[in-house]
Structures are given as C-alpha cells and as structure tokens.
Structure 1
Amino acid sequence: MEKKEIYLVDDSADHRLLIRTIFNEFLPNYRVRFFQGAAELYQFMVLQSAPEFSGSRPGLIILDLKMPNIDGSDLLRLIRKTPDNFVTKWSTLPIIILTSSSSDEDIQKCYAAGANSFIVKPVEFEELRFLIETICHYWMDYNTLPVPTRKENSI
C-alpha cells in the first residue's frame, strides 16, 4: 500500500521550519509536503487531480487559518468542493485547522466549511511536538478512510 503524505499549509516560514524540525527529528517515518499558502496547495491539487499524475497522494492536510489572500477556511471550502478522482477522495480527506486563534467564530466557520478538527497551536515546543505526533498517529496510522473507486466517479 502506498504511503500517503501529510500536506501542511502555513504562510509562516518560522512555523514551517519548526514543524519540519519536528518531522525530521521525531517523526522521520512520515512524509510531509510543505506549502507556503492556499494558492500553492490548490495549484498542486489541480496538477494532482490529472489522470497522469504519478506522485504521492495526501492522507492528511493541516491548514493554518490566518493566511493572506485565501485564509484556511476559504481553502477548506475549495478543497471540499474539488471533485474526487479515483485516487483521492477530497470530500472525506481529513483536514485539520492548526491555528493560533481560539475564537468561537473561527471554530464555527471552520467546522461549517468541513474541518475534521480545530486545534489551537501550543506555544511550547514539547507540547507542539506531542501534538504533531498525536495527530500523525491518529489520522495516518489508525484512522480508516473510504477508498475512492472508479464507479463512484462515473456517477
């Protein structure tokens, strides 16, 4: 079975570096692809949806909420509206919002847009490391997703 990637979208270079360090030092068995913003991820998704695409597929997307131009909740809505293909089922792919916001309005907005989880970023490195490990183990190792079939896409 193909090993799925984790897509992480965050406009902060510092936060991407911190997360990259956690994966390199503590979670080397997981593959993560970093995106600087919503447009970069969405362009990659369009490429990936092409039938001839042969690269890795996502098993989890982690989105920052507060990003310029297209924020995390808008990107989440775009992802959920992307047509499924026979390899990637965008409508059920786990998507987590990882943000510094704890606003009730942001929480409601993200769940309404299709988030599977809304998590406030911890400030301390060890807490963030533990959180990322927990997210990976649950969503990538234990969670079971429906498998897209060609029949579903012909409907």
Structure 2
Amino acid sequence: MADDDPDDRELALTAIQESRLVNELRFVEDGEELMQYLRREGRYREPKDAPRPGLILLDLNMPRKDGREALREIKSDPVLKHIPVVVLTTSKAEEDILRSYGLGANCFITKPVTFEGLVDVVKVLDRHWLQIVELPPEPSDHEA
C-alpha cells in the first residue's frame, strides 16, 4: 500500500485484521518509495525486504512522486506492468478516474468515510483480487 497518511495506513491495517485476512500488507509512504520497493533499490535491495506484491493499493495524492506518476511508471515497465493496481484515494473527481484508468489502473475506489466501509472494501478486494482472479506468476530472474 502506497499512502502518505499514517492514519489511513493504520486504518487499512486494522481493517485487514478485522477482516481476518492472512495476506501480508506492506507500506510505503510515497510514489518514490513505491518504485524503489518494486525495483528493489536502496533499502529494498534484498528480495526478502521487498517481495513482489500480488496487488498494489495506490493513493493518488502523495509527496515526492504522486500516485499518477508511479502508476505511469509501473504500467510502462515490462516486469511490473502485470501487477494489479487498485487506486484507493479520497478523490471522486471524474478527471482522476479517467486519468487513472488511462494510465492502466485495474480499479478505482474512493476511500470510504467509515471504518466499516473500509472493512467492506478490504473484504471485496480480497475476494476479487486474491481469491477469484488468476494473477500472473512472478517473473523468474532471467525475465526481470
């Protein structure tokens, strides 16, 4: 999950625990850190420190590199482009929705205003993206 708001990150973690999901959730605070994580750069050099995510939850409005820029980079990278990206943001702007899908987002969700709503979203994301949908395998070292 890439989100600069510590409260939103904490709520997401609590919602995952409340939903009884077993999936590990890792956090980065902006698009720059997200790209370092995905490319295994800097403090994320070791594969154990940056396992490939099965799904990216991406906020749009972050410092340094916003979600739109990170989404563009992810979807233009031959190794990363297959990772599903769910935009999870406070924006309801039609421009953000259209631009996100145009950049390759797999889904656009406006953050719920209640904790219960967030728990519901987490459950739906888990069911859809982690239980129903067949995701591509992680590329082998010779493909990366």
Normalised TM-score (structure 1): 0.80
Shift of the alpha carbon at 1:80? 1.4
- SS of residue matched to 1:22: helix
The one of 30, 44, 47 equivalent to 1:53 is 47
Q: Is the 8 A contact 1:9 1:64 kept in 2?
A: yes
- SS of residue matched to 1:119: strand
- SS of residue matched to 1:35: coil
Q: Is the 8 A contact 2:2 2:34 kept in 1?
A: yes
Matches within 5 A, 1:90-101: 90-101=80-91
Call closer, same or farther: CA 1:34–1:52 in 2, change over 3 Å.
Answer: closer
List gaps (5 residues or longer) in structure 2: none
List gaps (5 residues or longer) in structure 1: 1-7, 85-89
Call closer, same or farther: CA 1:149–1:41 in 2, change over 3 Å.
Answer: closer
Matches within 5 A, 1:1-150: 8-47=1-40, 53-54=47-48, 56-84=51-79, 90-147=80-137
Q: Is the 8 A contact 2:58 2:87 kept in 1?
A: yes
What residue identity is the alignment partner of 2:105? A
What residue identity is the alignment partner of 2:135? L
Call closer, same or farther: CA 1:124–1:44 in 2, change over 3 Å.
Answer: same
Normalised TM-score (structure 2): 0.86
Call closer, same or farther: CA 1:123–1:45 in 2, change over 3 Å.
Answer: same
Identity in percent:
36
Structure number with higher strand proportion: 1
